[in-house]
């Protein structure tokens, strides 16, 4: 007989959760998120102040998906109550770099003396603040916030040069509460 697998998450105070079939909507003091979770045999329900994930026929695949869904929902609950914050550091030893934001992109001018500015996309729902040599990326959705920080870091990637000599760039120093 195949065992039943269950997982549960406690909903923090001040956070509202609605579940319609596969769509999970989370509202909190910092914002709101919604995400669809599709996988056969995995059921998501809300009972009182808990979110229940279970599967009657739990093979290895269902166990993995329940763990994945649990992690995504935990990130959503934490994001709407506290927000995610990434910190990036601007390092420029050869040429003075100018970083500005414009609507939905970050513009990096004079990187390694280049005439054409480099650009990085800012995803929806993410806020980017530039302070001297520090860039702060703040958002409710962990995926979008992290991807925006990665876009900024990748825009300044150095190619065809010795990275031991040319250490200019923008680097992530704090990842959602973790110091790197």
In the predicted structure, residue 73 carries a pLDDT above the cut 70: yes
Q: CB of 88 within 8 A of CB of 149?
A: yes
Residues 96 and 172 in one domain: yes
Residues 27 and 88 in one domain: no
Q: Which residue has the tokens 């760039």?
A: 169
Residues 92 and 147 in one domain: yes
**In whole angstroms, what is the distance from residue 99 CA to residue 159 CA?**
20
Q: CB of 52 within 8 A of CB of 42?
A: no
- pLDDT of 179: 80
pTM beyond 0.85: the answer is: yes
Task: Write out pLDDT tens, residues 113-139.
Answer: 889 999 999 999 999 999 989 999 999
- pLDDT of 95: 86
**In whole angstroms, what is the distance from residue 25 CA to residue 18 CA?**
5
Residues 55 and 95 in one domain: no
Residues 113 and 150 in one domain: yes
Residue ending a domain, choose from 82, 97, 121: 82
- pLDDT of 1: 58
* Domain residue limits at 94: 84-179
Residues 88 and 170 in one domain: yes
| pLDDT, average across residues 65-89 | 94
Our count of domains for the chain comes to 2
């Amino acid at each position: 007989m195949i065992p039943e697998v269950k997982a549960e998450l406690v909903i923090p105070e001040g956070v509202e959760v609605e579940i319609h079939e596969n769509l999970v909507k989370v509202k909190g003091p910092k914002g709101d998120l919604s995400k669809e979770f599709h996988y056969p045999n995995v059921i998501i329900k809300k009972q009182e102040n808990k979110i229940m994930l279970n599967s009657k026929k739990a093979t290895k695949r269902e166990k993995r998906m329940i763990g994945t869904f649990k992690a995504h929902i935990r990130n959503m609950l934490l994001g709407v109550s506290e927000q995610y914050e990434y910190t990036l550091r601007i390092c420029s030893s050869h040429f003075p770099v100018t970083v500005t934001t414009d609507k939905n992109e970050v513009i990096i001018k004079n990187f390694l003396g280049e005439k054409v500015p480099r650009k990085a996309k800012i995803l929806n729902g993410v806020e980017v603040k530039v302070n001297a040599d520090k860039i702060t990326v703040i958002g409710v959705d962990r995926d979008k916030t992290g991807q925006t920080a990665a876009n900024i870091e990748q825009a300044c990637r150095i190619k065809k040069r010795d990275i031991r000599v040319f250490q200019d760039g923008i680097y992530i120093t704090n990842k959602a509460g973790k110091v790197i």
